[in-house]
Amino acid sequence: MKILVIDDERAIRNSLKEILMDEGYEVDTAEDGPSALEAAGKERYDVIFCDIKMPGMEGTEVLTKLREEGIDSAVVMISGHGDIDTAVDCIKKGAYDFIQKPLDLNRILITIKNATDKANLENHVKILKKKVYGKQMIGESKAIQHVKEIIKKVAPTDARVLITGSNGTGKELVAQSLHQQSDRSAMPYVEVNCAAIPSELIESELFGHEKGSFTSAIKQHKGKFEQADKGTLFLDEIGDMSLAAQAKVLRVLQEKKLSRVGSDKDITVDVRVIAATNKDLLKEIEKGNFREDLYHRLCVIPIHVPSLDERKEDIPLLVDYFVEQSCAESGKSIVKFTPEAIEALQKRSWPGNIRELQNVVERLLILGGNPVSAQDVEDFV
């Protein structure tokens, strides 16, 4: 573990350095704010101890600049003139803890341990989120960068989003990214595939039901809206939802209230709704299959996910990603694709989009050589 000690008094920083090194920590020191920022920009420190009262640049300014530069080390502020207001201000600015001088060794060691435990827990949560939310949005093409830019702007808001695009383009990844980058990221993310649920069960799935409300309702059931309370509800393939269910969804969006099947009691919910479809909803409205008022409620922010044919320059990155993923899962060493093989893949049309490319890559890893050649692409794709 690496620790940085920032203090303008040489005796204090050297003394703290010696104490921490005796405990087995690797310690660097800095005598002022600028040198500390330079050090933190070059090295990754687990914990930073920073004095508040320093000439030139005070500790609170150092803390602010560390956070502005994206340095997420646990910062512990130190002061000989501490008060509650100062401590609260430091915590608000992103400090992990606040310690008063004279420094107590036991307090310092406990703070380091707690900060380390917190960092480990946050890393564990990040890993779990990656497992839960699945794959990443891969690509550097203008088309996909445009989508990422919209996500970055829209995610922190509560605006409803309608995601459109063909099957296999990754609409669900856009929805997951919106949730992950939102203020609701710590709350539930609930997915509903409207096309996979029979029309007679969709209302029960979305809004829940009371015991005995229909033949198989043997107990009370909370619907997806209630399960997603304070979080995000992703309605995939909403173009396949029945008109009756659409009317109830519209009511929830308007009033933020729902009633379970078999009940007339209103339940208040706070849910951000993100919807997706591979259909042209405006044409579905003309046909009478989709409510126009619901469309306008959902389509506050439209995001169109480009097809793979519209972003073929991303194929090399996508192939690398799928190769790495597949080889890691199977425990095999990485298989390379020749430049000619990549070029052959880029010349093809991809009606099945990203999903089709992933299947093709997995097939070539099994049937092709190492490296996978253009001839392998011709023979097996």
What is the number of other CB atoms lying within 10 angstroms of the CB of residue 304?
A: 17
CA separation, residue 6 to residues 19, 106, 198 (Å): 15, 19, 63
Confidence (pTM): 0.65
What is the number of other CB atoms lying within 10 angstroms of the CB of residue 63?
A: 23
Q: Which fold, 309-380?
A: Helicase, Ruva Protein; domain 3 (1.10.8)
Which of these, 305, 310, 307, 316, lies nearest to 345 by C-alpha position?
Answer: 316
Mean of pLDDT values over 325-345: 90
What is the number of other CB atoms lying within 10 angstroms of the CB of residue 30?
A: 22
What 3-state class would DSSP assign to 186? Answer: coil
pLDDT tens across 68-91, in order?
888 888 999 998 776 778 888 888
pLDDT tens across 282-334, in order?
999 999 999 999 999 999 999 999 999 999 999 999 999 999 889 888 878 88
Query: For domain 2-130, which CATH number applies: 3.40.50.2300, 1.10.580.10, 1.10.3720.10, 3.40.50.10490?
Result: 3.40.50.2300
What is the b/e burial string over 40-57, where b = at least 16 CB atoms within 10 angstroms of the residue's CB?
A: beeeebbbbbbbbebeeb
| Token pair for 75 | 């910062």
Spatial separation of the C-alpha atoms in residues 113 and 59, rounded to whole Å: 22
Mean of pLDDT values over 161-185: 94
Tell me the average pLDDT of the chain.
90
pLDDT at 124: 65
pLDDT tens across 260-272, in order?
988 888 999 999 9
pLDDT tens across 94-151, in order?
899 999 888 888 999 999 999 888 877 776 665 555 544 445 789 999 999 999 999 9
pLDDT at 200: 80
Kindly list the domain boundaries of the chain, sorted by start residue.
2-130, 143-306, 309-380
pLDDT tens across 365-374, in order?
999 999 999 9
Mean of pLDDT values over 7-15: 91
Residues 194, 199, 202, 203: is their CA dihedral positive or negative? positive
- Report residue 364's pLDDT band, with 50, 70 and 90 as the boundaries: very high
CATH architecture of the domain formed by 143-306 = 3-Layer(aba) Sandwich (3.40)
pLDDT at 212: 84
Spatial separation of the C-alpha atoms in residues 156 and 153, rounded to whole Å: 7
pLDDT at 134: 47
**Triad 80, 84, 86: Cα angle to 5°:** 65
- Asked if residue 188 has a cis previous peptide bond (ω within 30° of 0), the answer is no
What is the number of other CB atoms lying within 10 angstroms of the CB of residue 84?
A: 8
pLDDT at 133: 44
315-330 and 353-367 helices, crossing angle to 10°: 50
Indicate if 143-306 has the same CATH topology as 2-130: yes
